[in-house]
Structure 1
Amino acid sequence: MKDIIDGVLKFQRDAYPQRSELFQRLATHQNPSTLFIACSDSRVVPELLTQREPGDLFVIRNAGNIVPAHGSQAGGVSATVEYAVAGLGVTDIVVCGHSDCGAMTAVATCKCLDHMPAVAGWLRHADAARAVNEGHAHSSVRDRVDGMVRENVIAQLANIKTHPSVARAIEQGKLTLHGWIYDIATGRIDALDSAGKRFQPLADHSQVAPASRPLAQAA
């Protein structure tokens, strides 16, 4: 904990003064353009990956970068999605999976989670992705896990579209969805194409079509 406290003091001493004007502007309002949904994994830092400043991203982080489909019981993720879209008016949503994801490894390898029943219940929201992934041939355990990471991003994009605020914003041409996968070892990010089937390197296809775009922009 001492390292954390020392970091806070360093922030107050060094980092805050360098951005004092920015923090003064942010003191009474926020206007993020993007909702970034990522895993809680300590190795995944959305603001670092995207090189964004405070106030630029509205962030949801949880085990497996999961978005439960809209239902009668609204949870924290659903409420945060609704606020980002209907309250803050974000124009883009990124669902970002990552390599070596513990949550997706557990799902892909059918790891026993009897000692973590809450985690097991949460990961049921990835059942559709697991079913699709199990229908594919895999050459190794790593390939199976990587496939699960990809299918989970696709499945969570499908889930988020069931939320009324998201469906309405997409229909009105106000919101675009993106599916990304971050490779921890290389820093590479792959983006899902508009057909929702293939992930392409963002570095080679910086204009890669979003996974879901406003109808007003559709070709």
Structure 2
Amino acid sequence: MDAVLEELKAGVRRFRTEVYPEHEQAYVKAASVPQTPHALIVTCADSRIDPELITQSRPGDVFVTRNVGNLVPAYGEMLGGVSAVIEYAVSALKVQHVVICGHSDCGAMKGLLNPESLEKLPTVKSWLKNAHAALSVANSLTETDENKEERLRRLTEENVLLQMQHLRTHPSVAGAMAREELTISGWVYDIGKGEVRISEDGGRVFVPVTIKGESA
């Protein structure tokens, strides 16, 4: 017996008996009308990240693509799945906002900081070339007394900012932004704290999304 498969089946059963009945009408509606998501979220493939849960989105609210390091290759350099998702989301689905979402304790960012750890992962190593400029910027800004955690946080932020730059090179995105039909933002999700910090309006500073009683 495949224990992992059985665990997944158990999850499906719980979904069908506990989750689906409570939200049946939402699922029926989602299945009966064309999808009209308002946002595209580009985030990491890390199993600890759940963009629908973080944003409390319902079926059909957000279009999501995930990959190692939440990377967006600049247009024309590595056309593939990510580029196709962006084009479809912006040109066909007409999303109004695109999020690039990085996160704390990112294995991809750790790999950039420790390239020797990628020697047995040649495909990952090649893919992470799309983040090398972020590493260069982070290195140039590193303080002499910066510890490993601070350096990782800096690189994570710089990577999100870099991928936002790459995103703007895609024709569908550039056109929609020029027509003021699309906006973009960069997020960093702290897994342990449940906190999201956002860079918007072209800024480099990531500001926490506060709740009542919190200060920024």
TM-score under structure 2 length normalisation: 0.91
1:20 to 17, 24, 32: 24
Q: Which structure's residues are more often helix, by fraction? A: 2
Letter in 2 for 1:6: A
Would you say the 8 A contact 2:112–2:128 is kept in 1? Answer: yes
> SS in structure 1 opposite 2:20?
helix
Give the structure 2 partner of residue 11 of structure 1.
Answer: 15
Q: Report the counterpart of residue 81 of structure 2 in structure 1.
A: 76
Match of 1:188 in 2: 195
SS at match of 2:111: helix
In 1, Cα distance between the equivalents of 2:95 and 2:88? 9
User: Which residue of structure 1 aligns with residue 150 of structure 2?
Assistant: 143
Residue by residue over 1:124-173, the C-alpha shift from the partner in whole angstroms, topping out at 9 and shown as x without a partner, is 00011011011012411111111110000000000000000000000000
Q: What is the match of residue 30 of structure 1?
A: 35
1:21, 1:136 → 2: CA distance?
51
- The aligned residue for residue 49 of structure 1 is 54
Q: How large is the RMSD of aligned CA atoms in angstroms?
A: 1.5
CA contact (8 A) 2:35 2:60 kept: yes
Kept in 2, the 8 Å contact 1:154–1:196? The answer is no
Unaligned runs of 5+ in 2: none
2:130 maps to what in 1?
125
Which of the residues 105, 108, 111 maps onto 2:113?
Answer: 108
The answer as to 2:94 corresponding to 1:89 is: yes
Question: Any conservation in 1 of the 2:135–2:158 contact (CA below 8 Å)?
Answer: yes
Asked if the contact 2:185/2:201 (under 8 Å) is kept, the reply is no
Partner amino acid, structure 2, of 1:129: A
Secondary structure (helix, strand or coil) at the match of 1:27 reads helix
Tell me, in whole angstroms, the C-alpha distance in 1 between the residues paired with 2:27 and 2:190.
31
Question: 1:47 aligns to what SS in structure 2?
Answer: helix
- Give the counterpart letter for 1:190 in structure 2: R
Q: Work out the percentage of aligned pairs sharing the same amino acid.
A: 41
Q: Is the 8 A contact 2:41 2:98 kept in 1?
A: yes
CA shift at 1:200, angstroms? 1.1
Aligned to 1:214: none
Structure 1 unmatched ranges of 5 or more: 206-219
C-alpha distance in 2 between matches for 1:137 and 1:125: 20
**Letter matched to residue 159 of structure 1:** H
Instruction: Write the distance in 1 (CA, Å) between the matches of 2:127 and 2:89.
Output: 22
1:154 aligned onto 2:161: yes
Task: List, as ranges, runs of 4+ consecutive aligned residues in structure 1 with deviation greater than 6 Å.
Answer: none
Q: Check 1:48–1:12 CA distance in 2 against 1; reply closer, same or farther (3 A cut).
A: same
Deviation per CA, 1:39-63: give whole Å up to 9, x if none.
1111110011011111111001111
Q: Aligned AA for 1:165?
A: S
Query: How far does residue 74 in structure 1 lie from its aligned partner after superposition?
Result: 2.0
Higher mean alpha-carbon deviation, 22-31 vs 87-96, is at 22-31
